[in-house]
Chains A and B, each alone.
Chain A
């Protein structure tokens, strides 16, 4: 049997539009120091570092090497993972495997981003095939707009339904001191915000954010000594399905459907809506909050809007989603997936402050990116069998 692994602490920067006071290395240092403070550990206790972001977002090649001053990786095993938007969640999954391997006891996992330092859409566009996709594609916004158009066409969902997702996440963000956009918006404000790509408008989309997140993963036996109520990793699963955009199946998010079914099976979840207490999902835009929760099996296809309007996913509802405010309120891309995992762990540990959901035993976090890819990490209060 593999070693069990828990998240024992984390640190986030206060995420902002632009952090001129620090360079990228110093931003990483800030999050890392906060994670160490959170756990009472020093860098000497850390036996390895994993870090990730997207090269062309900051224009830095070999970020793992460049960031050593701030990551604490001097003299330590240091590794970089990069999978685009899923980078943060990919890092969390790696944190799990590397500690579960028995080769590490206290592993520092860092995701970061300085979106302010480049043109995000230009940078994202370089993620796609230079010969076939790049000249017509317009980054995440165009891809997501296409998905939204198909969802509306297939199920009759409306822009107003989607706006309800933004309203929820932005309301939740007011409770999270680390979130970037901490101001409520109304349905009307979302609907009347400037158009980006039909049917998406400015307030349907995530912002561009500077920020970093560091999470410490520890092995069984070590974790309990660091933290009275660690967040145990119950399971991970992911799917990175496509090479070409045109191969994707725009009705729904197949990668999330497949990954979640694998994860539920592993962990023994039969009714996710009832058995999972809170979700921190990488929903980069409003429509994802309708359609992707269907893929997670919370309701039948096309019924996402009903769950939203019924308040099921609000704080206080049956299954709160994104009590942190989610990605629509804060998106330092290379950190975003890891923030979801860190927030899910905070909920399990009971350390989520004003955004705490009562009695969380099982929490799910997700990452999204690449060519419609999905990563999942589930954490819980009880050691897995």
Chain B
């Protein structure tokens, strides 16, 4: 057979998808964190008694010391902005299908940053170290988006 069949073959593409449904266990530690937000609008972290780090979201273990974390501690709800970006492109994965503004927020009393959405703020007004407070969603279901977003604290 002639060699050129390779050249005049129409390149086909098989359009498909992977749609396997997942049901991820949140675990006891994460469930406590999310239910406190849902039921009491309280944000909890966990402290490592070895290194004093306070993790938000709370961890069962201290990833640095590799021991179980100690007590639950209430953090925030206000905090300080560490890093941020305003997204300018569309994605069906964005909550509400609106290009979001993201921040890493160090909640008062925590030693780590929480990644979340920012709202009620012009992108040009965002500054490092800006003070932020959470806005809670109604109703709440035990989901990370029970915190709708963080907004600048108005004094």
A residues within 8 Å of B by Cβ? 18-24, 26, 29, 42-43, 56, 58-59, 68-70, 72, 74, 114, 116-119, 122-123, 126, 130-131, 134
Closest residue of chain A to B13 (Cβ to Cβ) is: A131
CB pair A23 B22 closer than 8 Å: no
Please classify the interface of chain B as helix (H, G, I), strand (E, B), loop, or mixed, using the class held by over half of its residues: mixed
Q: Mark B17-58, 1 if CB is under 8 A from A, else 0.
A: 010111111111110000000000000000000000000000
Check A130/B25 contact, CB under 8 A, given A69-B61, A74-B63.
Answer: no
Q: Is the CB of A26 within 8 A of B61?
A: yes
Residues of the B chain whose Cβ atoms lie less than 8 Å from the Cβ of A22: 25, 27-28, 60
Please indicate the chain A residues that have their CB under 8 angstroms from the CB of B16 in the complex: 130, 134
Q: Are B66 and A42 in contact (CB under 8 A)?
A: yes
Complex contact A19–B25 (CB within 8 A): yes
Q: Which of B20, B30, B64 contacts A122 (CB 8 A)?
A: B20
Interfacial chain B residues near A117, Cβ < 8 Å:
22-25
In the complex, how many residues of chain B place their beta carbon closer than 8 angstroms to a beta carbon of chain A?
20
Say whether B27 contacts A23, CB under 8 Å: yes
Contact A21 B24, CB 8 Å, known A29-B61, A43-B66, A126-B18:
no
The residue that A58 contacts in the complex, of B22, B28, B30, B59, with Cβ under 8 A, is B22
B22, B29, B60, B64: the one contacting A74 at CB < 8 Å is B64
With contact pairs A29-B61, A42-B66, A69-B59 given, residues A56 and B18 touching in the complex (Cβ less than 8 Å): yes
B89 CB–A CB distance under 8 Å:
no
Complex: chain B residue closest to A21, CB-CB: B28
CB of B14 within 8 A of chain A? yes
B20 touches A118 (CB 8 A): yes
**Docked complex Cα distance between A58 and B25 (Å):** 10
Listed by A's residue number, 9 A-B pairs whose Cβ atoms lie within 8 Å are: A23-B24, A23-B25, A24-B25, A29-B60, A59-B20, A59-B24, A69-B59, A117-B24, A122-B21
Name the B residues within 8 Å of A29 (CB-CB).
60-61
- Are the C-beta atoms of B20 and A126 separated by less than 8 Å? yes
Tell me the complex Cα distance, A35–B21, Å.
32
Q: Which residues of B contact A131 (CB under 8 A)?
A: 14
Distance (whole angstroms) from the CB of B36 to the closest CB of chain A: 17
Q: Are the CB atoms of A118 and B21 closer together than 8 Å?
A: yes
Q: Which residues of B contact A123 (CB under 8 A)?
A: 20
Compute how far the CA of A72 lies from the CA of B20 in the bound complex, rounded to whole angstroms: 29
Quick check: A23 and B30 within 8 Å, CB to CB? yes
A70 touches B61 (CB 8 A): yes
Q: Could you tell me which B residues sit within 8 Å of A by CB distance?
A: 14, 16, 18, 20-30, 59-61, 63-64, 66
User: Which one of A26, A59, A130 lies within 8 Å of B22 (CB-CB)?
Assistant: A59
Residue on B nearest A73 in the bound complex, by CB: B63
* A58-B63 contact in complex given A23-B30, A126-B18, A130-B16, C-beta closer than 8 Å: no
Distance of A70 Cα from B29 Cα, bound (Å): 13
For B27, B28, B61, B66, which residue has the most chain A Cβ atoms within 10 angstroms? B66
Given contacts A118-B21, A126-B18, A131-B14, contact A23 B66 (CB under 8 A): no
Q: Is B61's CB under 8 angstroms from A130's CB?
A: no
Q: Which residues of B contact A43 (CB under 8 A)?
A: 66
Closest 8 CB pairs of A and B: A43-B66, A23-B27, A69-B63, A59-B22, A22-B27, A122-B20, A131-B14, A26-B60
Nearest A residue to B30 via CB reads A23
Closest CB in chain B relative to A139 CB, distance in Å: 11
Residues of B within 8 Å of A70, CB to CB, are: 61, 63
**Roughly how many angstroms separate A126 CA and B22 CA in the complex, as a whole number?**
14
Question: Of all chain B residues, which has the CB nearest A121?
Answer: B20
A68 and B25 contact, CB distance less than 8 A? no
- Expressed in whole angstroms, the Cα–Cα distance for A43 and B60 within the complex equals 16
Q: A355 to nearest B CB, angstroms?
A: 29
Query: Contact: A21 with B20, CB < 8 Å?
Result: no
Q: Is A23's CB under 8 angstroms from B26's CB? A: yes
> Closest residue of chain B to A132, judged by CB?
B14
Q: For the complex, what is the distance from the CA of A26 to the CA of B27, rounded to whole Å?
A: 8
Contacts of B24 in A (CB 8 A): 23-24, 58-59, 117
Q: Which A residues lie within 8 Å of B25 (CB)?
A: 18-24, 114, 116-117
Alpha-carbon distance A23/B14, docked complex (angstroms): 35
Give bound CA distance, A59 to B25, whole Å.
Answer: 12
Interface-central residue, A23, A70, A72, A116, by most chain B CB under 10 Å: A23
Q: Compute how far the CA of A122 lies from the CA of B17 in the bound complex, rounded to whole angstroms.
A: 12
Complex Cα spacing A117 to B23, Å: 5
What is the chain A residue whose CB lies nearest that of B23?
Answer: A117
Q: Are A130 and B60 in contact, CB atoms less than 8 angstroms apart? A: no
- Could you say which residues of chain B place their CB within 8 Å of the CB of A20? 25, 27
